[in-house]
Chain A
Amino acid sequence: MSLVVNTAISNHPDPAWRGRITASLIALIVLWPLLIASEFKPWILLDAQSLGATWHFLASFFPPAHSKAFLLLILQATWQTIAIATAGLTLALLSAIPLTLLATESLSVSRLESGRMRLASTVVRQGARWLLVLLRSVPELVWALLLVRILGLGPAAGVLAIALTYSGMLGKVYAEILESSEAHATQSLLKNGSGRLAALLYGALPASASELVSYTTFRWECAIRGSVVMGFVGAGGLGQRMDESMKMLAGDEVSTLLIIFVLLVACADWVSTFLRKRLG
């Protein structure tokens, strides 16, 4: 028996290699039109002119720009990025919480009695859900692009873009967390005549508070990344500085910005992991 297994193994290291090769070939054939549509031409990377330009640009990365004035400017931009993310997320919370309360099904009183919601509550609840879907489906950068046209250049557009997108995300996930938490306490409270808000505060919220906070922290980290990106359409912060440096092809400034940026994301990551560990 063991002899048979051994010969089978020694034939090929991968037992499923035929299937994998076939799947890869089929995938390649199916993906062929996609390769054409996305103008996938790796050889232009090796073109002498492009190699020259890339080399020239990368060579200017060293040493990174470190004049005092520039660093001060960057420090300011970094704080602005953090501030945009924090302010945006605060505003998002302000609108996400009421929307969550509207969208959460387990807080429905009429559903408790008859198993079905009243028409009016269904309409309000579905309306809140669709609003949440719409808010989070439009990418934050598109919101920023539109808001820059309305509000003009500057951090206001970034703050509102984060507020809009993240209220959609937070509202949806909050409602999911509240609905998946132990429904027993909430339902007993509602059945015994407590108000919806009391049922939430005494029943659903204590059970899922740490999960809610942990998700919010994770989103804050995402918002920092997002607020950098939104600078590219003129919403302030590190992104705007990087856009300017890129346009001037100032490699040394770009490399400083990249370093600061990686450090900022690492810090946000670290803070968020630390907080989540404390809660969990």
Chain B
Amino acid sequence: MQHLPSTPPIIKPATLLFLVGLLTLVCASFYSLDIQWSLLFTADAVRSSVEFLRGFTPPALTWPFLLKVAQGMLETLSMSALGTGIAFTCGIMLAMPASGRFGAAARWVMRLALNILRSVPELVWALILLIAAGLGPFAGTLALAVHTTGVLGRLFADALENMPPAPETTLRINGVQPMTAFFYAALPQILPQLMSYTLYRWENNIRAAAILGIVGAGGLGQMLKYHLSLFQMQQAASVIIAMLILITLVDGASFWLRRRLTSH
């Protein structure tokens, strides 16, 4: 005679606790921010918003201005590409110790360093680096490189740790030098993954590069900030459209490259 298992509760106590906590967090957030929602939707506010938005049309399309926008696009593109490239190189170098190849202590220290690099966003790095590198795209490039090094370094280290170790160990046991074993057995296994991470970060970085200029680090963001603060809305509209075009182009290029590089 078998007893039926007791019916599971509709909702587990832990889940209930979590939901209550979540609800409290949401309510506390709205309550403490104390936003005057009713003021946002008065006829007056709506009218002024519509007027503000109408100022954006038509986008400025004179040739000299378009040329300047194109230059800003090139600057933004270079910042993102160079930042990602530098981060790729530094990321691989830092991933070696961070994946525990030089002992547990080195791994721990390097992981901590990478986490710190990673958790400070590009924009904050840009602000700090402005002091060393001066206003302009160079500070932005460095900021992207520093933050992305943290992100890629950690992803690369994880990739190195998670790959099947047998091929490399086999070579090492048979007396092959560590460098050689790495290049013959480890790198070919993870290279497609590394490339795909890097291209994904490039997509992120083009978005970041587009806005870094808001703190003075060059590119389209700087133009946007400039024109918005002069209330030249039509120029600002063109810059925003240029950002969207650039982001779409880079997304497309990265998608294409990723398919080329990772499908062997």
A-side interface residues toward B, CB under 8 Å? 9, 13-17, 27, 31, 33-35, 37-41, 44-45, 50-51, 53-54, 57, 79-80, 82-84, 86-87, 90, 137-139, 141-142, 145-146, 149-151, 154-156, 159, 225, 228-229, 232-233, 242-243, 246, 254, 258, 261-262, 265-266, 269, 275
Q: Which residues on the B side are within 8 Å of A145 (C-beta)?
A: 214, 224-225, 228
- Asked if residues B75 and A37 are in contact (CB atoms below 8 Å), the reply is yes
Given contacts A15-B184, A156-B35, 20 further A-B contacts (CB under 8 A): A13-B180, A13-B182, A15-B183, A17-B183, A35-B78, A37-B75, A38-B78, A39-B137, A40-B82, A44-B133, A44-B134, A53-B131, A54-B131, A82-B29, A159-B33, A242-B127, A246-B128, A261-B119, A262-B116, A265-B119
**Option from A80, A146, A156, A232 in Cβ contact (under 8 Å) with B123:** A232
Q: Which residues on the A side are within 8 Å of B179 (C-beta)?
A: 13-14
- Asked if residues A35 and B124 are in contact (CB atoms below 8 Å), the reply is no
Nearest A-chain residue to B115, judged by Cβ: A266
Q: Which residues on the A side are within 8 Å of B155 (C-beta)?
A: none
User: Size band of the B side of the interface?
Assistant: 35 or more
Q: Which residues on the B side are within 8 Å of A33 (C-beta)?
A: 78
Report how far A68 CA is from B49 CA in the complex, Å: 41
- Asked if residues B240 and A86 are in contact (CB atoms below 8 Å), the reply is no
User: B93: CB under 8 A from chain A?
Assistant: no
Q: Which residues on the B side are within 8 Å of A17 (C-beta)?
A: 183
Nearest A-chain residue to B132, judged by Cβ: A54
Nearest 7 CB-CB pairs, A to B?
Answer: A34-B78, A83-B29, A38-B78, A265-B119, A14-B183, A13-B179, A86-B29
**Option from A44, A51, A83, A265 in Cβ contact (under 8 Å) with B28:** A83
Report how far A14 CA is from B131 CA in the complex, Å: 41
Asked, given contacts A150-B52, A232-B215, A266-B115, whether A86 binds B123 with beta carbons under 8 Å apart, the answer is no
Q: Which residues on the A side are within 8 Å of B182 (C-beta)?
A: 13
- B30, B33, B48: residue with the most chain A Cβ atoms closer than 10 Å: B33
Q: Which of B1-45 contact A (CB under 8 A)?
A: 18, 25-26, 28-30, 32-33, 35-36, 40
Q: Which residues on the B side are within 8 Å of A154 (C-beta)?
A: 35
User: B248: CB under 8 A from chain A?
Assistant: yes
Q: Which residues on the B side are within 8 Å of A35 (C-beta)?
A: 78, 82
Report how far A254 CA is from B182 CA in the complex, Å: 41
User: B141: CB under 8 A from chain A?
Assistant: yes
Q: Which residues on the A side are within 8 Å of B202 (C-beta)?
A: none
Report how far A39 CA is from B217 CA in the complex, Å: 11
Q: Which residues on the B side are within 8 Å of A31 (C-beta)?
A: 81-82, 85
- Asked if residues A150 and B33 are in contact (CB atoms below 8 Å), the reply is no
Q: Which residues on the A side are within 8 Å of B247 (C-beta)?
A: 137
Report how far A246 CA is from B139 CA in the complex, Å: 15
User: B172: CB under 8 A from chain A?
Assistant: no
9 A-B residue pairs with Cβ-Cβ distance under 8 Å, sorted by A, are A33-B78, A40-B78, A50-B133, A53-B131, A79-B32, A83-B29, A225-B121, A243-B127, A275-B18
